[in-house]
Amino acid sequence: MWESMTADEYAAVEKDGGDDLRKIDGVWWRRIRPWFYRPLLPWRLLSPEQVPHRGGCFQYAAKPGEVSNSYFNLMIYENSRDYTMENLSKHTRHNLRAALKNEVAIRRITDAGEFLNKAYPLYLDFVDRTGYAFRSDRVRRHGFEAWTRSLFANPGVMVTGAYEGEEPVAVYVSLLVEDVLVLKTAINSKRGLELRTPELEMHFYREKAAAHSGIRFIYDAFFIPQMGINTFKIRRGACVTALPAQVRGLTGLFALIRRFHPSLYRKLHGWSEEELEKVVGKLACRLEKSGNAVMFPGENKGI
């Protein structure tokens, strides 16, 4: 269903979408704040010689035994091939079965014109309802058109819609980077939420990933301990890593952020396993995992 793309191809998609990326010594870096960068593939473990020491702050997941001063908290769905509805909690199975009764079909959108005309109103509804401010240029139709062109220019980008009859009530964007399924975008309308489309979306991704021999795990996003969507994901099988990370380059900037913007520093620094156990415990009764609530598989090449 997904065509695997290389890191370079993924970088091209993200650059077309407006992200600020730099390739230095074979590693792609994404600017997440002024002068602050993280790897485009944050699950990859890097050694110090692969990381720039000037030109900004570069934070990366460190290899075992290397010095670290922070953490990468990635929200992932591991053991992709083991997923079944029966492995979910009773409460989650109940919600999913209720969603399946709504007769909403998830299918791929291959026509850019259809996506533009159908998804743009959904996006405006989503922004108005949530106050979503990231990439505000897409609120204007020409900005949304530019994003649409970037999505459909690469066959490796999977655009899907949740349809009630012939009308989409939600749209989703995902792609397969090497052996990791990356969940990029989820836009649910108010009607979509009434039909429980987030339940269907997650079930769709996990069921398809389980049947795909080339997917090692699903990557969602960096974890932020806030009530809401993260709670939803954790209760449906997501786990949070505590990968030891290191900041190189302008480390003085990192120190200034710690002193003058402690809330931002907290997000950039991340949470240790012990801290996550406390934080995650406040977000959900438990993670639907065997073993520890906070997972760190610890393979040499990353998760």
pLDDT, tens digit, 9 for 90 and up, residues 151-178:
999 889 999 999 999 999 999 999 999 9
Query: Does the residue 109 lie in any domain?
Result: no
Query: Does the residue 37 lie in any domain?
Result: yes
Q: How many angstroms separate the CA atoms of 238 and 220, rounded?
A: 9
State pTM to two decimals: 0.89
Q: How many angstroms separate the CA atoms of 29 and 8, rounded?
A: 11
Query: Does the residue 79 lie in any domain?
Result: no
For the chain, counts of helices (H) and of strands (E): 10, 14
How many domains does the chain fold into?
Answer: 1
Q: DSSP character for 284? A: -
pLDDT band at 303 (very low <50, low <70, confident <90, very high): low
Q: How many angstroms separate the CA atoms of 282 and 287, rounded?
A: 11
Per residue in 192-205, pLDDT (tens digit) is: 999 999 999 999 99
Pairing of strands 167-177, 157-164: antiparallel
Query: Does the residue 207 lie in any domain?
Result: no
User: What residues make up the domain containing 58?
Assistant: 7-73+243-274
Nearest to 202 by CA among 26, 80, 23, 69: 80
